[in-house]
Chains A and B, each alone.
Chain A
Amino acid sequence: MTTVDTVAAAAPPRRRRLRMRHPWPFVAALGVLCLSGLLPLLFMTATAFRTQADWDESRVGLPTTFSFDSFARAWTDANIGTYFRNSVIVTGCTVVLTVVCATLAGYGFSKLRWRLSGGVYLFVLCWIAIPPLLLMVPIYVEMVQLGLLDTYGAVIFLYTALNLPFNVYLMTAFFRSVPDELIEAARVDGAGIHRIFFRILVPLSKPALATLVIFNVLWAWNEFLFALLMLQSDSVKTLTVGVLQLQGRFTTDYPALMAGLLITSLPVIVAYLVFQRHLVRGIVAGAVK
């Protein structure tokens, strides 16, 4: 990370400017592309505030009245409130569990010396390459056998297990970039491995932790396939699965559906805007090393 920062700082923006005779067509195309990312948000918001009558009359348009009716219909009648709570619980637990495990494992792989350390690390990394779809069938059966089917536990453990390899990789890479002299100095001063971990490494790794948090929040909140398989009763379904029920078989209450989709999207959009810089940093760390 530090090298990247210094490189960016060493090159004055003036010099990095693109010299192109006609940049404007490119910039315009880029602008259209980026604005298209906002379109779903606009369409959902506009439609969610319209009434069913508005929708019947015209499919595209701005709201004529201002009310949160469709949000209320989605939140209570269609259970979106419950699904929202479930998504918060599942995402929260997954993030905490993953980040704690990844930090501890990263410490173990980077700064502690033990037999088989290298071998176990490689074994963990192998799982990054396995597409989860392969595990659809056996994981389902395993969850039935463990009696975890249809509980929060099923998806929380699963998400943690699927995400850990990549998280461990990032944390190990980060801890390796912490100079050994720092740890050595603390050890000379009489600090044990726990003290070194909590007093030196954890405070240093705040940016890396932020990266892990945003990655896992986006992933766990948006995950669909395993939520669909594991969570079957309404009381435990997460938003991505629950929101499907707003699509009726014959008639659909479109304003309420859009309200539901908006409720599903807003938390991650806000999380993205807040943690944006850390996300880019994580991708830098993952791509360059």
Chain B
Amino acid sequence: MFVAYPFASVVFHSFTRWDGIAPAEWVGFHNFEVLWHDPLFRKSLRNNAIFALSVPIQVVVPLLVAYLIHRRVPGWRFFRSTVFLPAVYATVVIGILTATVLQLDGPLNQALGSVGLSSLQHEWLGSASTSLPVILLVLIWTNFGYNVLLYLAGMSAIDPTLEEAARIDGAGWSRILFSVVTPNLRSVLEIVLVVNTITAFAFMFAYIYTITNGGPGTDTYVSEFYIYQQAFTNQNMGYAAAIGVTLVLIVLAIGIFQIRVLTREKE
């Protein structure tokens, strides 16, 4: 009930003008028309798309890491338990730490100065050209371990005699990984792909709120942050609901497209 009722409510209110207090006023598709021409919404979506650049990295690199751990390279026990650590910290903690370390007079710039690299000193969060890559990097770092564990789980379910047979036939490790192991991981690949895409579009709020607070200006807005702004700073609840509905439709469309592509390859 706590989830089903609000879901119906958000769809209804996306067609209204509403400040959250006075009764909502029906305006039809007006909100969606405004949204279509809203430059700030486009900018937010573009930033979401930039964060979605993390998806290919999250699909490939954790696969390699998981395979190393799966095949028990020296130290694999230690790697298996620490690789998830970044995902254990609260996003808020990581966000505040990032903002602290990257301040103009913060630890990173000081360290750069003391090793003679003062030319690299920079106001890291002062412009979108550096702060967006920073947030992207933090995003990859925190979610990395989760993907490794997913791949590990998938690999442990593969019949080990397959790998053994390929090895006896003279296949090298990369051949085994890409021709024997990966084709058996299709359901895990699907999960990794879809979950990381959804994360880039719909779970960015805490990073943005704590690292840049959307700034400078509105340069690091993401759609979720924009909803929050419209709803709770500008009291445009109806408009915020419309952004939410649009965003979810976009995410669903991408997710369905990804799964369709993956399942078509199978046939």
Contacts and interface: CB of A to CB of B under 8 A. Distances in A.
Contacts of A59: 105-107, 110-111
A43 interface: yes
A153 to B, nearest CB: 11
A119 interface: no
Question: How many interface residues does chain B have, given as a range?
Answer: 35 or more
B251 A131 contact: yes
A14 B144 CA distance: 28
Interface residues of A, number: 80
Contact of A18 (B6, B72, B79, B146): B72
Nearest to A222: B90
B160 A240 contact: no
Could you tell me the dominant secondary structure of chain B's interface residues? helix
Interface stretch (A63-71, A110-118, A180-188, A277-285): A277-285
A139 B90 CA distance: 23
Contact of A272 (B88, B110, B247, B252): B88
Contacts, number: 233
A138 B90 contact: no
A287 B10 contact: no
Contact of A240 (B71, B92, B167): B92
A269 B173 CA distance: 34
A160 to B, nearest CB: 8
B193 interface: no
Contact of A7 (B80, B88, B145, B159): B159
A254 B85 contact: no
A58 B83 CA distance: 30
Interface in A22-45: 23, 26-27, 30-31, 33-38, 40, 43-44
Contacts of A23: 68, 73-74
A201 interface: no
Contact of B68 (A3, A26, A36, A40): A26
A204 interface: no
Given A134-B248, A261-B97, A243 B106 contact: no
Interface stretch (B38-46, B49-57, B125-133, B201-209): B201-209
A287 B191 contact: yes
Contact of A8 (B156, B227, B231, B251): B156
A264 B2 contact: no
Contacts of A38: 82, 85
Contacts of B164: 15
B141 interface: yes
Contacts of B110: 58-60
B136 interface: no
B79 A158 contact: no
A136 B240 contact: yes
A130 B3 contact: yes
B84 A272 contact: yes
A162 B122 CA distance: 41
B203 A136 contact: no
Contacts of B78: 34
A19 B167 contact: yes
Nearest to B111: A60
B75 interface: yes
